[in-house]
């Protein structure tokens, strides 16, 4: 027991110091982290950042340690702490640590008492600490620094790293006149409202129309020039510091040259790429491309459009065209409408709206309004323009369902039976009204007759779909006529009712033959012939009806729908159920009406005024003014790159290992370089590297190790530049021995 | 050996011996009559004199130890154990390893002594014509056969094939623009296809297992043709065909009939000229005559005449002409008026006249149906195109197919223009530097230069105008053979020594085997004879006669 006592005290002391140290260290690290994060907001080098951080952390650590009295630790500290915190030890802990021999009796008694008490108290002793507070403080600091790091600006990027490297590279070959610095400032055009900035690379990507200025300083005055796109060179003033300012409108590349001890130093090529100002993006959000309205007052349509541009919109409006009338008398009137809200279009993104008062625009039933939205952006001097698709608004013609025969069209598309659908409807309605008055026989007969009319009408329209042939339309008028009289009602129902959906509905004639009604004696050969469709040899088989193109796609679709509905209308008439047939007939009528209106768009597209014909000249057969005529045409001029083609041959020579360029080769390669430069103007990113390599090869500056790869790059680029031509026939040549020639000539005689 | 001595007498040996015996008889009788001393010695001297005189006429030759002159040639890849056993058997043979020679041409001097060739083989020009044995080594890994089209034309799909000898791998064709085509190969044949873009001489590469071989390809630009198109009325088909030809730089004349005596002429890429009448002479300026919806019945004889002289005629029928086609075409009716045409992986449907001609040579064909065909007539070809509407292909963005079909039709039919000189290299690729290149020239009075050095030519003994020569190109790389009289050029490539080893070995083995005859005969060693110098006999004769003269005086 006794022996343990000093150790226990020692243990307590050690743990006290340890806890204090950990607290200080934690705070120290947290402060260091905060400093690190804070320094991220200032533009300083990494080394400075580290040193500062370590300094701050150390200083704060020492300070804290000082205030925690870690430097002034003595054994009494623990005694004081124990005495203060544990009254049961009766302020006598100091007795425990002093030498027993030096103590007087009372002290010894007290000491042995306290020893026992200490043994009891020991397990409960807690060294006083600030662990909780410290960890909270540290957590707060760490959090703060994390936030600071997350939102730190990228200040370090401004450091012109690549530029410095480039300068070193340029100065590598120079003896006297060294480049000290190049500062490239890019000022985007004023309307973009973007601040000017310094480029950190000599290759640059600039907004279209930017003003770029180069500030080039040398260590001594020398003549220097900037060469733009290989042809436009600008001599720079022969001071030490040279500046040049230029407005960039096209992509291209540039090169810096200067004189060093009498020789010209040529830099690499640097590309200038352009970011184009995009035209506005427009969209009409609340309407379908084709919209139809009944004619009801008040007739107002709200058009909502979303307008967007990358730098700002200048103006936008709605162009509306009203088309009236039909056939040859179609008239168009165009109006430019401003948006109601907002009244002035500006900004990068605008939700604009305008209410079209169709009545005010002068639309009447049957008329159509075509409109689109157009907008300009704020680009100067020429703004970008864009427009939406054309939208259509039609007012339905409810009153006039009569025929519109568009004779104005180049082809008279409207058949004479155009009125018949209406007529069939009227007759069907009449039949239904009279149903009770007439006999069933008569009712059925009339219904069937109407069905026949419906069929003929369908065939008529079928022609416009290109369904010229009976087999495509189904049945066949003539064949039907033949059987019409012989047929019983049952057969009719069977044929038109049940078999309607089979695949063979288009082959009724064939089926009749197969059915065995006509029992001719066919010889086997004849039958075989007929199986092969004897018509095929004589018929003028055109394209399939499915692909006929009398009409534009939407009209075709409508006509097709009308034909399908007519099939159903006919079916129910044939089944003596005219009341079921009527809805189909109405649908068919509606579709036909729409088709007739659609033809207007056709007129708008293809309108052509032929010059008047002189009546007396027509069909006179006078050929006196007809003369022979000679025309000349030439192969279109293509960019052919003759020097590049020659250079390709030079490269093929070089690839075998011959590294000596003759003067002639150099001339060829230089000319190819000029052609490549022209191509690089259009695509600097693609060919500029090649131009640099070519320059090195011509100058003889290619290291041994890079020779093969340089030649490979050039071969590839030359191959890419030269355009791929088309396959073309070629004259064949052959040296034929005279004897062979004679033999061939006389072969067939 | 029986034939150790042989006589190369210019006179029959029997006559010589008879005369000698007679002479001996006469002179020995004379000696006997002289009654002098040393009769027997004189008789022997006489015999010696007569014998040496006989030998003088008979010219005896003795067989030398011929075996010592043989040469065993060890070429790369030879089998060491067979070489060793051969050395053991023919100890006196010289052994030459080609790898130790500076130049293989050094062997030419010992050409006739070669008895054995081991390994890869030797080029034909250092081999004797026969009488040696060849022990071939197995082929090394690599491409052992290569077929490249004789003439490559820019922008036209071409394929090259070959035989790969080695482990399975991937073979890649690399052009100046980068990788073009690749295929996986096992041991056996392979096929690669590509469309060269630019005309010129290019070095492509064949890569397999990281090993690259330079493949020299000369791409020719298409040569323009002269085309005359006659039509009675304009049609879209002809308009597009004309535009296609003019755009490609061909010289085109289109004559369209306006009225009976009036024509509309269009001259594409050539100067206007009058061409109201079709004469044989006028047609000789053209390579192809296109008759579009026009059978040119009036000029049929002229056209047939021109046809025999090499003109190509392309007839594009109109419907009413089909029943009675011109130029002796014969058609059979078929049922369909559309036809399927295959192009690369696509099959497209085109409208076509419902006829077929099975007898003719096909240009465009689908199974048994000839869609464009021709028949030969003299030196020319008369053809037709039964596809009626090909121009919509251009509008549909399938211009490639249009170009392909018409390129084929036009090129097949067009006149093959006569070249005055043809230069042909008969060696197989590869030929290394300092090896002989066998050149054949077909021309009347050729003057051929190899890279500006004129080559001596000698004409064939029997065939007129056929000349041949040998050239020894010294450097690797492209070389040019130029005929100075008409600037016909033939380019060829000399590769580096270490390239195409497998192909080279295969070629050498083939050549060597052809000369060796393929069978191994050890008794084939040839004997060589050495004539005994007549001076020896002369001296003996003089001594013998001298004794005869001296003997009576002793």
Domain residue spans of chain A: 4-150, 160-275, 281-393, 416-507+547-606, 642-721
B175 chain-A contacts, CB cut-off 8 A: 719
CATH class held by domain B226-413? alpha beta
What average pLDDT does this structure show over A3-25? 80
CB-closest option in A633, A636, A732 to B266: A633
Q: What is the pLDDT of residues A547-577, one digit of tens each?
A: 444 555 567 788 888 889 999 999 998 888 8
Highest mean pLDDT among A36-45, A548-557, B64-73: A36-45
Contacts of B92 (CB under 8 A, 6+ apart): B65, B67, B68, B70
Q: How far is CA A243 from CA A208, A225, A235, A239, B243, in A?
A: 21, 10, 10, 10, 54
User: Are domains B142-220 and B226-413 of this chain identical in fold?
Assistant: no
3-state helix, strand, coil in chain B (%, to 5): 30, 35, 35
The CATH number corresponding to A160-275 among 3.40.50.2300, 2.40.160.20, 2.60.40.10, 3.40.50.1970 equals: 2.60.40.10
A631 chain-B contacts, CB cut-off 8 A: 264-267
- B478: closest CA of chain A, how far (Å): 8
Q: What is the pLDDT of residues A342-395, one digit of tens each?
A: 888 888 888 888 888 888 888 888 788 888 898 988 887 788 888 888 888 888
CA–CA gap between residue B455 and residue B469 (Å, rounded): 7
B222 touches A at CB < 8 Å: yes
A540 touches B at CB < 8 Å: no
DSSP-based three-state secondary structure for B226: strand
pLDDT at residue A509, rounded to an integer: 40
pLDDT at residue A508, rounded to an integer: 39
Quick check: A731 and B267 CB within 8 A? no
Q: What is the pLDDT of residues A279-310, one digit of tens each?
A: 899 888 888 877 877 777 677 888 889 998 88
Residues of B numbered 328-347 whose beta carbons fall under 8 angstroms of chain A's beta carbons: which are they? Answer: 333, 335, 337
Q: What is the pLDDT of residues A475-531, one digit of tens each?
A: 434 433 444 444 444 444 444 444 444 444 444 344 433 334 444 444 444 444 444
B486 touches A at CB < 8 Å: no
pLDDT at residue A328, rounded to an integer: 59
CB-closest option in B200, B417, B488 to A648: B200
Indicate the domain borders of chain B: 2-64+530-553, 66-138+500-526, 142-220, 226-413, 422-494
> Interior CA angle at B218 toward B216 and B221, to 5°?
160
pLDDT band at B521 (very low <50, low <70, confident <90, very high): very low
Phi-psi region of B399 (alpha: psi -120 to 50; beta: other; left: phi over 0): alpha
Quick check: B378 and A747 CB within 8 A? yes
Among A398-412, B301-315, B523-537, where is mean pLDDT lowest?
A: A398-412
B259 chain-A contacts, CB cut-off 8 A: 623, 626
- A653: closest CA of chain B, how far (Å): 7
Q: How far is CA A542 from CA A339, A467, A476, A548, in A?
A: 52, 10, 18, 9
CATH topology classification for A281-393: Immunoglobulin-like (2.60.40)
Decide: B384 and A707 in contact? Cβ < 8 Å: no
Residues of A numbered 680-719 whose beta carbons fall under 8 angstroms of chain B's beta carbons: which are they? Answer: 715-716, 718-719
CA–CA gap between residue B164 and residue A615 (Å, rounded): 80
pLDDT at residue B18, rounded to an integer: 92
Higher pLDDT, B482 or B115: B482
pLDDT above 90 covers a percentage of chain B that reads 6
pLDDT at residue A467, rounded to an integer: 59
Residues of A numbered 643-662 whose beta carbons fall under 8 angstroms of chain B's beta carbons: which are they? Answer: 645, 648-649, 651-653, 655-656, 658
B460 touches A at CB < 8 Å: no
| Nearest chain A residue (CA) to B246 | A635
Phi-psi region of A476 (alpha: psi -120 to 50; beta: other; left: phi over 0): left
Q: What is the pLDDT of residues A216-246, one digit of tens each?
A: 888 888 788 888 877 778 888 777 788 888 8
B286 chain-A contacts, CB cut-off 8 A: none
Among A521-535, A595-609, A693-707, B4-18, where is mean pLDDT lowest?
A: A521-535
pLDDT at residue B295, rounded to an integer: 63
Residues of A numbered 510-539 whose beta carbons fall under 8 angstroms of chain B's beta carbons: which are they? Answer: 532, 536-537
Q: What is chain B's alpha carbon radius of gyration, rounded to the nearest angstrom?
A: 38
What average pLDDT does this structure show over A734-748? 76
- A522: closest CA of chain B, how far (Å): 23
Quick check: A635 and B268 CB within 8 A? yes
What average pLDDT does this structure show over A683-708? 79
pLDDT at residue A68, rounded to an integer: 77
B421 chain-A contacts, CB cut-off 8 A: 735
| Nearest chain A residue (CA) to B220 | A730
User: Are domains A160-275 and A281-393 of this chain identical in fold?
Assistant: yes
A724 chain-B contacts, CB cut-off 8 A: 155, 197
pLDDT band at A658 (very low <50, low <70, confident <90, very high): low
Is residue A89 over pLDDT 70? yes
Is residue A113 over pLDDT 50? yes
CB-closest option in B400, B411, B443 to A730: B411
Second CATH level (architecture) for the domain B422-494: Sandwich (2.60)
pLDDT band at B21 (very low <50, low <70, confident <90, very high): very high
DSSP conformation letters of A4-71: HHHHHHHHHHHHHHHHHHHHHHHHHHHHHHHHHHHHTTS---HHHHHHHHHHHHHHHHHHHHHHTTST
pLDDT at residue A660, rounded to an integer: 74
Residues of A numbered 718-747 whose beta carbons fall under 8 angstroms of chain B's beta carbons: which are they? Answer: 718-720, 722, 724-738, 741, 744-747
Highest mean pLDDT among A287-291, A410-414, A430-434, B83-87: A430-434
Is residue B289 over pLDDT 70? yes
pLDDT band at B528 (very low <50, low <70, confident <90, very high): low
pLDDT at residue B26, rounded to an integer: 92
Quick check: A726 and B248 CB within 8 A? yes
What average pLDDT does this structure show over A163-183? 77
What average pLDDT does this structure show over B26-31? 89
CB-closest option in B197, B263, B488 to A628: B263
pLDDT at residue B542, rounded to an integer: 93
Higher pLDDT, A420 or B56: B56
pLDDT at residue B156, rounded to an integer: 87
Quick check: A730 and B178 CB within 8 A? no
Tell me what the pLDDT averaged over chain A comes to. Answer: 75
CB-closest option in A627, A651, A722 to B262: A627
- B509: closest CA of chain A, how far (Å): 28
Highest mean pLDDT among A495-504, B87-96, B147-156: B147-156
pLDDT at residue B49, rounded to an integer: 92
Q: What is the pLDDT of residues B399-458, one digit of tens each?
A: 888 888 899 899 889 988 888 888 888 888 888 888 888 899 988 888 889 888 888 988
| Nearest chain A residue (CA) to B253 | A632
| ipTM exceeding the 0.85 mark | no
Higher pLDDT, B108 or A336: A336
Provide the token pair at A249.
């409108």
Domain B142-220 carries which CATH code? Answer: 2.60.40.1930
B399 touches A at CB < 8 Å: yes
Decide: A727 and B155 in contact? Cβ < 8 Å: yes
Q: How many residues are listed for chain B in this entry?
A: 554
Whole-model pTM: value is: 0.56
Quick check: A532 and B442 CB within 8 A? no
What average pLDDT does this structure show over B246-270? 86
H or E element in which residue A357 lies: strand A347-357
pLDDT at residue B422, rounded to an integer: 86
CB-closest option in B176, B419, B442 to A733: B419
pLDDT at residue B541, rounded to an integer: 92
A542 touches B at CB < 8 Å: no
B321 touches A at CB < 8 Å: no
Contacts of A260 (CB under 8 A, 6+ apart): A174, A175, A176, A177, A222
DSSP-based three-state secondary structure for B108: helix
CB-closest option in B248, B308, B443 to A728: B248
pLDDT band at A583 (very low <50, low <70, confident <90, very high): very high
Quick check: B403 and A728 CB within 8 A? yes
CA–CA gap between residue A711 and residue A651 (Å, rounded): 7
Q: What is the pLDDT of residues A593-627, one digit of tens each?
A: 877 766 555 444 444 556 677 777 777 777 777 77
Decide: B419 and B364 in contact? Cβ < 8 Å: no
Is residue A268 over pLDDT 60? yes
What average pLDDT does this structure show over A684-690? 77
Highest mean pLDDT among A58-62, A490-494, A716-720: A58-62
DSSP-based three-state secondary structure for B71: strand
């Amino acid at each position: 027991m006794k022996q343990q006592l000093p150790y226990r005290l020692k243990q307590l002391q050690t743990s006290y110091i340890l806890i204090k140290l950990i607290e200080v260290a934690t705070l120290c690290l947290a402060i260091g982290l905060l400093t690190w994060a804070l320094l991220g907001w200032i533009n300083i080098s990494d080394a400075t950042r580290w040193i500062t951080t370590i300094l701050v952390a150390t200083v704060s650590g020492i300070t804290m340690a000082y205030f925690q009295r870690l430097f002034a630790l003595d054994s009494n500290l623990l005694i004081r702490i124990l005495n203060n915190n544990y009254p049961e030890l009766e302020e006598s802990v100091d007795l425990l640590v002093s030498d027993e021999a030096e103590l007087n009796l009372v002290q010894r008694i007290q000491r042995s008492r306290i020893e026992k008490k200490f043994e009891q108290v020991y397990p409960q002793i807690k060294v006083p600490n600030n662990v909780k507070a410290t960890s909270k403080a540290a957590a707060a600091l760490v959090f703060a620094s994390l936030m600071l790091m997350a939102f730190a600006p990228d200040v370090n990027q401004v450091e012109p790293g690549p530029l410095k490297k480039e300068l070193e590279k340029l100065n590598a070959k120079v003896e006297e006149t060294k480049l000290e610095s190049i500062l490239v400032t890019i000022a985007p055009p004023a309307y973009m409202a973007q601040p000017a900035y310094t480029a950190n690379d000599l290759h640059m990507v600039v907004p279209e129309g930017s003003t770029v200025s180069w500030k080039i300083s040398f260590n001594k005055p020398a003549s220097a020039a900037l060469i733009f796109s290989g042809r436009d060179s600008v001599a720079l003033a022969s001071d030490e510091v040279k500046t040049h300012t230029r407005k960039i409108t096209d992509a291209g590349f540039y090169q810096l040259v200067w004189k060093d001890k009498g020789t010209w130093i040529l830099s690499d090529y640097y590309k200038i790429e352009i970011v184009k100002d995009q035209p506005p993006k427009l969209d009409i959000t609340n309407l379908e491309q084709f919209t139809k309205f009944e004619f009801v007052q008040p007739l107002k349509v709200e058009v909502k459009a979303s307008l967007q541009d990358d730098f700002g919109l200048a103006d936008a409006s709605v162009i509306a065209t009203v088309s009236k009338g039909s056939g040859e008398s179609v008239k168009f009137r165009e109006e430019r409408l401003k948006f109601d809200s907002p009244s002035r279009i500006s900004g990068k993104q605008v939700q604009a709206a305008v209410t079209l008062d169709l009545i005010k625009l002068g639309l009447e039933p049957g008329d159509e309004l075509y409109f689109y939205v157009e907008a300009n952006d704020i680009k100067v001097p020429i703004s970008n323009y864009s427009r939406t698709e054309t939208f259509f608004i039609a007012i339905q013609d409810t009153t006039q369902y009569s025929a519109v025969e568009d004779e104005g069209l180049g082809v008279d598309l409207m058949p004479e039976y155009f009125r018949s659908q209406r007529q069939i409807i009227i007759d069907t309605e009449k039949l239904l009204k009279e149903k009770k008055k007439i006999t069933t026989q008569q009712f059925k007969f009339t219904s069937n007759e109407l069905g026949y009319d419906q069929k003929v009408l369908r065939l008529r329209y079928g022609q416009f779909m290109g369904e010229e042939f009976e087999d495509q339309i189904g049945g066949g008028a003539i064949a039907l006529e033949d059987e019409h009289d012989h047929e019983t009602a049952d057969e009719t129902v069977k044929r038109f009712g049940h078999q309607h959906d089979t695949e063979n509905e288009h082959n009724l004639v064939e089926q009749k033959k197969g059915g065995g009604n006509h029992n001719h004696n066919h010889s086997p050969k004849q039958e075989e012939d007929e199986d092969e469709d004897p018509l095929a040899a004589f018929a003028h088989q055109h394209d399939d009806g499915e692909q006929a193109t009398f009409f534009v796609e939407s009209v075709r679709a409508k006509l097709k729908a009308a034909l399908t509905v007519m099939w159903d209308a006919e079916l129910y008439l044939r089944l003596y159920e005219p009341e079921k047939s009527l809805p189909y007939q109405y649908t068919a009528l509606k579709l036909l009406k729409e088709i007739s209106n659609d033809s207007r768009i056709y007129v708008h597209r293809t309108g052509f005024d032929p010059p008047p014909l002189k009546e007396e000249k027509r069909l006179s057969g006078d050929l006196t003014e007809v003369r022979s005529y000679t025309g000349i045409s030439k192969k279109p001029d293509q960019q052919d790159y003759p020097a590049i083609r020659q250079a390709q041959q030079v490269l093929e020579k070089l690839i075998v290992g011959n590294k000596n360029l003759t003067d002639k080769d150099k001339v060829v390669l230089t000319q190819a370089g000029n052609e490549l430069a022209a191509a690089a103007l259009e695509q600097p990113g693609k060919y500029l590297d090649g131009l640099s390599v070519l320059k090195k090869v011509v100058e003889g500056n290619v290291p041994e190790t890079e020779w093969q790869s340089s030649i490979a790059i050039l071969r590839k680029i030359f191959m890419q530049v030269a355009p791929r031509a088309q396959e073309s026939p070629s004259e064949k040549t052959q040296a034929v021995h005279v004897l062979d020639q004679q033999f061939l000539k006389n072969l067939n005689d | 050996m029986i034939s150790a001595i042989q006589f190369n007498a210019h006179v029959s040996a029997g006559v010589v011996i008879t005369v000698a015996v007679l002479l001996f008889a006469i002179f020995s009788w004379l000696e006997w009559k002289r009654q002098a001393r040393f009769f027997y010695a004189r008789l022997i001297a006489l015999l010696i004199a007569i014998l040496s005189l006989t030998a003088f006429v008979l010219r005896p030759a003795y067989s030398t130890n011929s075996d010592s002159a043989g040469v065993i040639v060890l070429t790369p890849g030879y089998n060491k154990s067979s070489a060793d056993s051969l050395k053991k058997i023919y100890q006196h043979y010289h052994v030459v390893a080609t790898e130790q020679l500076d130049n293989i041409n050094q062997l030419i001097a010992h050409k006739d002594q070669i008895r054995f060739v081991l390994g890869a083989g030797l080029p034909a020009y250092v081999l004797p014509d026969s009488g040696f044995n060849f022990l071939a080594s197995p082929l090394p890994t690599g491409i052992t056969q290569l077929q490249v089209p004789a003439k490559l034309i820019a922008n036209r799909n071409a394929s090259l094939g070959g035989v790969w000898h080695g482990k399975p791998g991937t073979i890649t064709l690399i052009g100046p623009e980068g990788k073009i085509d690749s295929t996986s190969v096992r041991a056996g044949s392979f096929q690669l296809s590509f469309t060269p873009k630019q005309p010129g001489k290019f070095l492509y590469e064949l890569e397999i297992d990281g090993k690259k071989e330079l493949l020299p390809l000369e791409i020719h630009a298409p040569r323009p043709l002269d085309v005359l198109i006659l039509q009675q009325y304009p049609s879209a088909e002809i308009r597009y065909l004309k535009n296609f030809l003019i755009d490609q730089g061909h010289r085109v004349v289109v004559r369209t009939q306006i009225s009976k005596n009036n024509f509309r002429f269009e001259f594409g890429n050539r100067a206007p000229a009058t061409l109201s009448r079709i004469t044989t002479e006028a047609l000789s300026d053209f390579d192809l005559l296109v008759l579009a919806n026009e059978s040119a019945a009036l000029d049929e004889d002229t056209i047939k005449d021109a046809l025999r002289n090499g003109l190509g005629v392309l007839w594009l029928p109109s419907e009413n002409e089909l029943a009675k086609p011109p130029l002796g075409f014969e058609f059979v009716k078929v049922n369909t008026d559309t036809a399927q045409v295959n192009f690369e992986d696509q099959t497209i449907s085109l409208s076509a006249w419902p006829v077929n001609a099975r007898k003719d040579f096909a240009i465009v064909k689908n199974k048994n149906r000839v869609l464009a065909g021709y028949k030969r007539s003299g030196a020319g070809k008369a053809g037709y195109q039964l596809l009626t509407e090909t121009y919509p292909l251009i509008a549909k963005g399938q211009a490639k197919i249009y170009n392909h079909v018409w390129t084929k039709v036009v090129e097949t039919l067009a006149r093959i223009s006569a070249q005055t000189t043809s230069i042909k290299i008969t060696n197989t690729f590869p030929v290394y530097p300092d090896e002989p290149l066998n050149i054949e020239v077909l021309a009347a009075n050729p003057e051929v230069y190899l890279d500006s050095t004129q080559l001596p030519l000698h004409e064939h003994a029997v065939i007129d105008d056929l000349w041949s020569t040998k050239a020894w190109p010294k450097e690797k790389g492209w070389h040019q053979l130029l005929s100075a009289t008409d600037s016909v050029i033939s380019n060829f490539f000399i590769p580096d020594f270490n390239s195409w080893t497998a192909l080279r070995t295969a070629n050498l083995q083939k050549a060597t085997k052809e000369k060796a005859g393929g069978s191994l005969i050890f008794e084939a060693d040839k004997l060589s004879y050495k004539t005994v110098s007549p001076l020896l006999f002369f001296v003996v004769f003089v001594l013998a006669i001298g004794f005869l003269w001296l003997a009576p005086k002793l």
